[in-house]
Amino acid sequence: MKLKMMYSFLNSDINIIEKKLEETIQADSLLLKQASLHTLQAGGKRIRPVFVLLAGKFGHYDINVMKNVAVALELIHMASLVHDDVIDDADLRRGQPTVKAKWDNKIAMYTGDFVFALALELMANLDRAEAHKILADTMVEVTVGEIQQIRDKYRFNQNLRDYLRRIKRKTALLIAASCQIGAIAADVEEAIHRKLYRFGYYVGMSYQITDDILDFVAKEEELGKPAGSDLLQGNITAPALFALENAANRIEIEKVHEKMESADIQSIITLIKQSGAIEKSVELSDRYLSKALAILEELPANKAKKTLKDIARFIGRRKF
Ligand code: 2DE
Ligand code: MG
Ligand code: MG
Ligand code: MG
Ligand code: MG
Instruction: Read off the pTM.
Output: 0.95
Q: What is the pLDDT of residue 155?
A: 97
| Residue 154 confidence (pLDDT) above 70 | yes
Q: What is the pLDDT of residue 320?
A: 52
| Residue 227 confidence (pLDDT) above 60 | yes
Q: What is the pLDDT of residue 4?
A: 83
| Residue 116 confidence (pLDDT) above 70 | yes
The mean pLDDT of 295-308, rounded to a whole number, is 96
Mean pLDDT, the chain, whole residue set = 95
Q: Of all protein residues, whose CA lies closest to atom 15 belonging to ligand 1?
A: 80
Evaluate whether 17 touches 75 at the Cβ level (below 8 Å).
Answer: no
- Counting from 1 in the atom list of ligand 1, the atom nearest the Cα of 76 is 16
Q: What is the pLDDT of residue 54?
A: 98
Q: What is the pLDDT of residue 319?
A: 60
- Counting from 1 in the atom list of ligand 1, the atom nearest the Cα of 88 is 20
- Cα(246) to centroid(ligand 2), Å: 28
Q: Of all protein residues, whose CA lies closest to atom 8 belonging to ligand 1?
A: 80
Residue 209 and residue 317: Cα distance in Å, rounded?
10
- Cα(84) to centroid(ligand 3), Å: 5
| Residue 62 confidence (pLDDT) above 60 | yes
Task: Kindly report which listed range (99-103, 177-181, 202-206, 229-233) carries the lowest average pLDDT score.
Answer: 229-233
Residue 219 and residue 203: Cα distance in Å, rounded?
24
The mean pLDDT of 87-92, rounded to a whole number, is 90
Residue 26 and residue 114: Cα distance in Å, rounded?
11
% of the chain at pLDDT higher than 70 = 98
ipTM over 0.85: yes
> Nearest to residue 11, comparing CAs of 64, 50, 43, 55?
50
Confidence category of residue 209, pLDDT binned at 50, 70, 90: very high
233-255 pLDDT per residue, tens: 999 999 999 999 999 999 999 99
39, 98, 139, 146, best to mutate for ligand 1 pocket (most atoms within 8 Å of CB):
146
Question: Which alpha helices (H) appear in the chain, and where do they start and end?
Answer: 3-6, 11-24, 30-41, 47-56, 63-87, 99-102, 105-123, 129-152, 160-167, 173-185, 190-217, 220-223, 229-232, 238-244, 247-253, 262-274, 277-297, 303-317
| H-run or E-run covering 97 | strand 96-97
Confidence category of residue 222, pLDDT binned at 50, 70, 90: confident
Is pLDDT larger for residue 247 or for residue 44? 247
Q: How many alpha carbons fall within 13 Å on the CB side of residue 48?
A: 22
User: Which ligand minimizes its atom distance to the CA of 77?
Assistant: 1
Is pLDDT larger for residue 90 or for residue 35? 35
Residue 313: Cβ within 10 Å count: 17
| Residue 225 confidence (pLDDT) above 80 | no
134: Cα separation from own chain's centroid? 17
The three-state secondary structure class of 93 is: strand
- Cα(189) to centroid(ligand 5), Å: 32
Ligand 1 in reach of 145 Cβ (< 6 A): no
Q: Which residues contact 246 (CB under 8 A, 6 or more apart)?
A: 275
Residue 152, classified by CB atoms within 10 Å of its CB into exposed (0-12), middle (13-18) or buried (19+), is: middle
| Residue 318 confidence (pLDDT) above 80 | no
User: Which ligand minimizes its atom distance to the CA of 167?
Assistant: 1
Residue 36 and residue 26: Cα distance in Å, rounded?
9
265-278 pLDDT per residue, tens: 999 999 999 999 99
Q: What is the pLDDT of residue 80?
A: 97
| Residue 216 confidence (pLDDT) above 80 | yes
| Residue 208 confidence (pLDDT) above 70 | yes
Q: What is the pLDDT of residue 95?
A: 84
Residue 170 and residue 149: Cα distance in Å, rounded?
9
Q: What is the pLDDT of residue 6?
A: 85
